[in-house]
Amino acid sequence: MADAEVRFGKNVFIGGNDVSNQTFNRKKRGRYIIHKGRPKKPGCVWRKNADGSKTKVCHLQRKKQN
């Protein structure tokens, strides 16, 4: 088992959405789901996992690039 910590710095974008200055580790996880159209429930929510950790689940719409 490997332990790692992921830190997003300045100007980090996923699918055209700003995710800057966030840190994820084994207790605080992140999951980003990018939809081509508008998601049914857009935005982010925190979910509890069975092992006691939390996952930030974000349903985002892909933004057009200029």
Q: Each residue of 16-26: pLDDT tens digit?
A: 888 899 999 98
Token duo for residue 25: 């580790």
- Beta-bridged to residue 16, according to DSSP, are none
Beta bridge partners of 59: 33, 43
Decide if 16 is inside a domain: yes
- Asked whether the predicted pLDDT for residue 3 surpasses 90, the reply is no
**Rounded Cα–Cα distance for residues 50 and 55 (Å):** 11
Asked if residue 66 is part of any domain, the answer here is no
Q: Above 60 in pLDDT, residue 8? A: yes
Q: What is the span of the domain harbouring residue 17?
A: 6-61
26 within 8 A of 3, measured Cβ to Cβ: yes
pLDDT value, residue 14: 85
Overall number of domains in the chain? 1
Q: Is residue 56 part of a domain?
A: yes
Is there a domain that residue 1 lies in?
A: no
- The angle at the Cα of 8, spanning 50 to 28, to the nearest 5 degrees, equals 15
Per-residue pLDDT tens for 24-57? Answer: 998 999 999 999 999 998 999 999 999 999 999 9
Q: What is this structure's pTM?
A: 0.79
Determine the 3-state secondary structure of 55 from DSSP. strand
Q: What confidence score (pLDDT) does residue 66 get? A: 60
